[in-house]
Amino acid sequence: MKKIVRNIILMSGVVSLMSLTSCEDFLTLYPTDKITEQEFWQDRNDLESGLAACYYQMEKSDITNRIYDWGEFRATDNAALSDASNTSISNLQAGILRPTESMFDWAPFYTEINYCNKVIEHGQELYDSKKDVSLTSSVWNAYKSEAVAMRALTYFYLVRAYRNVPFVTKSISTDEEAMSAESQLPQTDGVIILSSMINDVEGVKNTPQRNLGNSVYNKGRITEKAIYALLADMRLWRACMLKHATDKASAGYIKDSLFNGINVVTKADSIVKADLQAAVDYSQKVIDLMNEEYNKENKNPITGEVDRVSDYPLYQQNSTGGGSGDMPYYYIFGTKNSLESIFELQYDATNQSNSAITNYIKSVAFSSISTMKVASGLYGSIGSLNPSTGFGKTDIRAAETVRMIKGESNTYVLTKGIANNVSPQDYTDMSEGADYSMRSQLDPNFIIYRLSDVMMIQAEALVRQASDKATMRKAFKLVVELFKRNNPGASKTSTDPNYIAWMTDNYVDNLSDGNVPDQATMLNYVYAERQREFVAEGKRWFDLVRMAEADNSTSGALELMGATKAVSAQLAEMMSFYNPVYSEELKANENLEQNPIWVNN
């Protein structure tokens, strides 16, 4: 843990909120005030400053770069290498993970965890001391819920990337503390960490604020919706990790099965059942809250129509003709902090720039192609109306994701996030190209959760929960609603029966028993829609890991990704889907064990 602490800036370096000039500063201003930690934590302002530092650390490229590395670039069906000299990414995509690569240094995440631990510990001390009468029970509990959720989210990333990591719940301030026996921790099984984080967040789910007063705070800080979204996601993940728990324990994938005196392996069946239902229920809570916000407008925010065109509060396309027309993309990615947003990291290009998205993927105005581009396979079926994978002919996300200009060679440069707005020339055929309005600065937000994510979490939980036709209908409708929103130029007179199945409202609402997809087919629909929706949002590889956990095998996920024989051979074992421990961490902490797959590296 010594390596971790060398990367920790003590919480005493956080900014004083008393000097801030705008609401955005809470989430973007660099911590500059230097005071000792003993002088800090005196009043509510100090607590707010500590909480601000938690958000600031999460926004840093040290973390977002690694979310791309761990959650996006390992999936070769989403991202392709455009810079052949980058051997680190080349090896990553070839399934050759070297422990000496700095991309596997988890220290920035433990810096974030340390910040959260400090807020939780010192905030409780400050509240108990009654030093600041303005720090009431409701105020403190709301702040605590944010710190607890941020810590859980950080551990959630680590568990998805490494599975088993050191579990630190006490703050560290000095090298002496870091080198103590109490801090030189071995890894804890990911299932146990996830269970602890679920318990923690469940404990604060009733105390976060619903409305913080403006869109930057409501989308840039942890609110009630973000708590529910995180719980839905973590519960779905634990359900998948504990499926086949007995076999996994026998194979050594689950090393520690005790949590709060409960053997999670022997209780796995009941936990999985409860988790899947919780994922459905928490997702629905988010959808209900977002419907409540939507209904306050009493109209579709784009079309101006009072009548709803969907049972979900989704933006809808305003135009299906050539040329410009407001698209959902403009509101979700262009203007940022949209009605569909739940939680996104905030950037203004002044106090904090989103350099990760441009360093790795693209440059503003396409002046150059950066390290990565979109995998060409996503566009292999661009002429199809209803492809099993990738973008179809009328899917506006094809133009939103990659720069497509009629008559120009398509080099699969990513557009998502850099463009303010995208206007296809022909909504019935994305290959006709589009017009783009570009950003002038590095200020795209990094979206952690948005409505479509919660819809797909609910759909997957439903599919994994039961295979009866009623459940499959519910899941099918969630997928179709998202697909329909993104295919406004679709024709219901198509002669392709599968296309009619996807696009006809009557088919969705009155799906006959003979046309209800089976469980395996429905799960493929969910994963295909997630892939189309979340390209370049740091989710694809994690989706494949979750699939492998649920299957207790990597073969299905590798087949879905279209992995080569060489990559499949490299990633045949379950633990190969997880990262190696960084070599410098192994040197600093003798209690750590290398992921057995990468020991010989």
| Greatest extent of the chain over all pairs of C-alpha atoms, in Å | 73
What pLDDT, on the 0 to 100 scale, is given for residue 310?
72
The torsion region of residue 95 among left (phi > 0), alpha (psi -120 to 50) and beta comes to left
Q: Give the span between the Cα atoms of 287 and 340, in whole angstroms.
A: 10
With 0-12 / 13-18 / 19 or more C-beta atoms within 10 angstroms meaning exposed / middle / buried, residue 305 is exposed
What pLDDT, on the 0 to 100 scale, is given for residue 36?
56
The residues, ordered by sequence, that sit 6+ positions from 454 with a Cβ below 8 Å of its Cβ are 229, 232, 283, 286, 287, 342
Q: Is residue 103 pLDDT above 80, yes or no?
A: yes
Q: Is residue 496 pLDDT above 70, yes or no?
A: no
What pLDDT, on the 0 to 100 scale, is given for residue 321?
59
Both tokens assigned to 125 = 């001390």
Which SS3 state, helix, strand or coil, does residue 203 take?
helix
Mean pLDDT over the full length of the chain: 86
Q: pLDDT of 459-476, one tens digit each?
A: 999 999 998 999 998 998
Contact 391, 400 (CB under 8 A): no
Cα distances (Å, whole numbers) of residue 199 to 83, 196, 205, 259, 272: 43, 5, 10, 11, 15
Task: Match 């009431």 to its residue by tokens.
Answer: 136
Q: Give the span between the Cα atoms of 319 and 225, in whole angstroms.
A: 30
Cα distances (Å, whole numbers) of residue 209 to 16, 136, 139, 142, 219: 22, 14, 9, 6, 12
Q: pLDDT of 251-292, one tens digit each?
A: 999 999 999 999 999 999 999 999 999 999 999 999 999 998
Percent helix, percent strand, percent coil in the chain, to nearest 5? 50, 5, 40
Radius of gyration (C-alpha) of the chain in whole angstroms: 23
Q: pLDDT of 156-200, one tens digit each?
A: 999 999 999 999 999 987 777 766 666 789 999 999 999 999 999
* The three-state (H, E, C) secondary structure of 452-513, written as one string: HHHHHHHHHHHHHHCCCHHHHHHHHHHHHHHHHHCCCCCCCCCCCHHHHHHHCHHHHHCCCH
What pLDDT, on the 0 to 100 scale, is given for residue 7?
34
Both tokens assigned to 556 = 């299905």
Strands 341-345 and 262-263: unpaired
Q: Is residue 551 pLDDT above 60, yes or no?
A: yes
Of 120, 186, 105, whose CA–CA distance to 152 is shortest? Answer: 120
pLDDT interval class at 333 (50, 70, 90): very high
> Which DSSP state fits 72?
I
Contact 315, 340 (CB under 8 A): yes
What is the Cβ-side half-sphere exposure of residue 478, based on CA atoms within 13 angstroms?
28
The torsion region of residue 214 among left (phi > 0), alpha (psi -120 to 50) and beta comes to beta
Of 311, 339, 331, whose CA–CA distance to 481 is shortest? Answer: 311
Q: Is residue 326 pLDDT above 50, yes or no?
A: yes
Over the range 403-425, which residues count as b (16 or more CB within 10 Å of their CB) and which as e? Answer: bbeeeeeeebbbbbbbbbbbbbb
Q: How big is the chain, counted in residues?
A: 601
Neighbours of 37 (CB within 10 A): 15
More confident residue, 241 or 12: 241
What pLDDT, on the 0 to 100 scale, is given for residue 30?
41
Both tokens assigned to 141 = 């509990």
Q: Is residue 507 pLDDT above 80, yes or no?
A: no
Which SS3 state, helix, strand or coil, does residue 428 take?
coil
Question: Amino acid identity, residue 185?
Answer: L
Q: Give the span between the Cα atoms of 89 and 79, in whole angstroms.
A: 10
Of 62, 49, 177, 185, whose CA–CA distance to 123 is shortest? Answer: 49
What pLDDT, on the 0 to 100 scale, is given for residue 10?
36
Q: Which alpha helices (H) appear in 60-185, and where do they start and end?
A: 61-68, 87-93, 107-129, 137-162, 175-178
Q: Is residue 535 pLDDT above 60, yes or no?
A: yes
pLDDT interval class at 29 (50, 70, 90): very low
Q: Is residue 379 pLDDT above 50, yes or no?
A: yes
pLDDT interval class at 368 (50, 70, 90): low
Q: What percent of the chain has pLDDT over 70?
A: 83
When mean pLDDT is compared across 77-91, 279-293, 547-561, the lowest value belongs to: 77-91
Q: Is residue 325 pLDDT above 60, yes or no?
A: no
β-bridge mates for residue 423, sequence order:
435
> Which DSSP state fits 396?
T
Q: Is residue 4 pLDDT above 50, yes or no?
A: no
More confident residue, 479 or 507: 479
More confident residue, 430 or 325: 430
What pLDDT, on the 0 to 100 scale, is given for residue 67?
97
Q: Give the span between the Cα atoms of 292 and 287, in whole angstroms.
A: 9
Q: Give the span between the Cα atoms of 98 and 104, in whole angstroms.
A: 9
Neighbours of 331 (CB within 10 A): 19
pLDDT interval class at 322 (50, 70, 90): low
Contact 5, 27 (CB under 8 A): no
What pLDDT, on the 0 to 100 scale, is given for residue 410?
72
Inter-helix orientation angle 107-129/61-68, to 10°: 130
More confident residue, 103 or 502: 103
What pLDDT, on the 0 to 100 scale, is given for residue 308?
52
Question: Amino acid identity, residue 357?
Answer: I
What pLDDT, on the 0 to 100 scale, is given for residue 563?
97
Contact 422, 329 (CB under 8 A): yes
Of 106, 108, 115, whose CA–CA distance to 172 is shortest? Answer: 115
Of 427, 431, 400, whose CA–CA distance to 413 is shortest? Answer: 400
When mean pLDDT is compared across 157-161, 265-269, 357-361, 386-390, the lowest value belongs to: 357-361
The residues, ordered by sequence, that sit 6+ positions from 528 with a Cβ below 8 Å of its Cβ are 387, 388, 389
